[in-house]
């Protein structure tokens, strides 16, 4: 059996007296399309931060592509194949969208530390940036600073930076949060076109989107895995419906 790309074993996180994530185990195989849902404050973003290495777990272990990374710093996990987006847009606001993506591309190509990048390296970076911008419909906005762009475009930028890293495992923390309804479609179209063998963990509140995207759904409540299953199983789960879905059930 192939190793899962991402595996969490009994991961917990405690802030003082508050245990925000409790004994969470979870694994993502190649090509996984997993959604993580749960009410506000369930610990979803904290879990993403534990996986990405922004936070260190109080207990448990994180494995990435078969390597134990629990104590590995964030930047090295990225090199090992992990990418993420942020729930609250976290870009280089004063730089252009093109410069933003170029930073990530240069890092991914291993060219960002170079004092004398050859012309060919610069050309490869430029070409890759152009490719990503075209893929995410960002080309028209290339030369403008991120801070003046519409929020929906900034969210696309979030996705662009993560994709520039060509991650094996991608964590999407509410990629369409705060985006006007009309522009949400573009973002989820882009997500639907992600490379098929990338393992994706999506945090999202819109149940329709979740059920369309995910092949498996994990429900987090008060820091614990409350339920896990295919979208129909979760849709039928009485407890989940009572807790989270409310009247959102669709025939």
Partner 1 sequence: MTATRALDGLVLAALALFPLVAPGYLDLGTRMVILALCAMSLDLLVGYCGLVMLGHAAFFGVGAYAAGIFALRGWNEPLVGLVVGAAAGALLALASGAVLLRTRRLTLIVLSLATVLVVQEAANEMPWLTGGADGLQGIAMGPVAGMFAFDLLGRVSYVYAALVLALSFLVFRTVIDSTYGQSLIGIRENEARMHAIGAPVDARLRTAFVISATLAGLAGALQAQVAEFVALNAVSVEFSGEILVMLILGGAGRRYGALVGAPLYVFMQDYLAREDPTNWYLWVGLMLLAIVFFAPGGLTAWIGNLARRMRPVHA
Contacts with partner 1, residue ranges (CB under 8 A): 52, 54, 73-76, 78-79, 84, 86, 90-95, 99, 102-104, 106-108, 111-117, 121-122, 125, 161, 164-165
Which tokens in the block code for residue 97? 């969208």
Nearer to partner 1, 111 or 243 (CB): 111
Residue 178 Cα distances to 87, 174, 203, 207, angstroms? 9, 9, 14, 16
CB of 217 to partner 1, least distance (A): 26
CB of 84 to partner 1, least distance (A): 6
CA 193, 194, 199: angle at the middle one, nearest 5? Answer: 145
Nearer to partner 1, 81 or 223 (CB): 81
CB of 109 to partner 1, least distance (A): 9
Nearer to partner 1, 132 or 214 (CB): 132
Number of C-beta neighbours around residue 182 at 10 A: 8
Nearer to partner 1, 131 or 233 (CB): 131
Nearer to partner 1, 101 or 234 (CB): 101
CB of 20 to partner 1, least distance (A): 20
Q: Is the dihedral of CA 49, 52, 54, 58 positive or negative?
A: positive
CB of 33 to partner 1, least distance (A): 22
Asked whether 7 and 62 are in contact (CB, 8 A), the reply is yes
The length of the chain is 251
Nearer to partner 1, 57 or 223 (CB): 57
Cα 188 to Cα 166: distance, rounded to the nearest angstrom: 18
Which helix (H) or strand (E) segment holds residue 172: the answer is strand 169-173
CB of 198 to partner 1, least distance (A): 16
- The sheet that has 224-229: what strands, in order across it? 82-84, 169-173, 199-203, 33-37, 216-221, 224-229
């Amino acid at each position: 059996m192939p190793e899962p790309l991402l595996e969490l074993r009994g991961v917990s996180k405690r802030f003082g007296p508050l245990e925000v994530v409790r004994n969470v185990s979870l694994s993502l195989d190649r090509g996984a399309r997993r959604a993580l849902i749960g009410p506000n404050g369930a610990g979803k973003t904290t879990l993403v931060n534990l996986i990405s290495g922004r936070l260190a777990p109080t207990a448990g272990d994180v494995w990435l592509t078969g390597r134990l990374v629990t104590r590995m710093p964030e930047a090295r996990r990225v090199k090992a194949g992990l990418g993420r987006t942020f729930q609250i847009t976290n870009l280089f606001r004063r730089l252009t969208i093109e410069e933003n993506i170029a930073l990530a591309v240069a890092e991914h190509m291993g060219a960002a530390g170079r004092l004398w990048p050859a012309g060919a390296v610069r050309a490869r970076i430029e070409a890759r940036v152009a490719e990503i911008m075209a893929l995410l419909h960002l080309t028209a906005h290339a030369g403008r600073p991120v801070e003046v762009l519409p929020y929906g475009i900034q969210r696309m930028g979030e996705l662009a930076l993560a994709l520039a890293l060509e991650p094996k495992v991608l964590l999407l923390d509410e990629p369409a949060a705060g985006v006007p309804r009309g522009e949400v479609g573009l973002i989820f179209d882009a997500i639907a076109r992600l490379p098929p063998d990338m393992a994706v963990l999506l945090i999202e509140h819109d149940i329709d989107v979740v059920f369309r995207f995910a092949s498996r759904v994990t429900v987090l409540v008060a820091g614990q895995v409350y339920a896990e299953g295919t979208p129909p199983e979760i849709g039928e789960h009485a407890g989940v419906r009572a807790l989270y879905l409310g009247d959102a059930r669709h025939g």
